Amino acid sequence: MALVLPAGSTATVATLTSGSPGATTAISNLISVGGTTYTKATADVTGLSDTTIQRLPARIDVGTVQLTIFLDDTATASNQYTALKTRLTNGTHTRIALNLPGSGIDDMYTYDGYITEVGSPEIGASDDALRYTVTLQLSDKY
């Protein structure tokens, strides 16, 4: 289930260097942010003499988060879509922070990770504005 952003919400993206974010840039036209999963994988430790598979808890996977964004119509070489694709290509450690309106919930959702997918705009037989999705593989607990 996606987090649909209430009116007045803002989002920013920043590059993480040594764990600290650099200058932030606004993410415009953000529609929604998908939920994340926090899971623990298991390791197969079955021995040759075991008659059933033996598994033990192993590493935690902090998951991914997916953002849905309306495509802006600025010049292709400098628009937000291209900037996010460049972060993917360069393997840039990225922080995305959501600032929801209201007191006490500023930057309630902050995600650190690496962009692993920038989808092409969804084109359909409707009058909806073009939108695309960005997937961020989280690198730390959210």
pLDDT in tens, 63-91: 999 999 888 766 666 688 989 999 999 99
Q: Please count the residues of the chain.
A: 142
Q: 34: part of which helix (H) or strand (E)?
A: strand 30-34
For 11, other C-beta atoms within 10 Å of its C-beta total 21
How wide is the angle at C-alpha 42 spanned by C-alphas 133 and 137, nearest 5°?
Answer: 20
The residue written with tokens 């937000």 in the block is 80
- Residue 129 has a pLDDT of 78
Q: Higher-confidence residue: 10 or 52? A: 52
CATH 3.40.50.300 fits 2-138, yes or no: no
Question: Which amino acid is residue 69, in one-letter code?
Answer: I
pTM value surpassing 0.85: no
pLDDT confidence bin for 53, thresholds 50/70/90: very high
Q: How far is CA 120 from CA 39, 50, 71, 84, in A?
A: 28, 48, 10, 12
Q: Domain locations in the chain?
A: 2-138
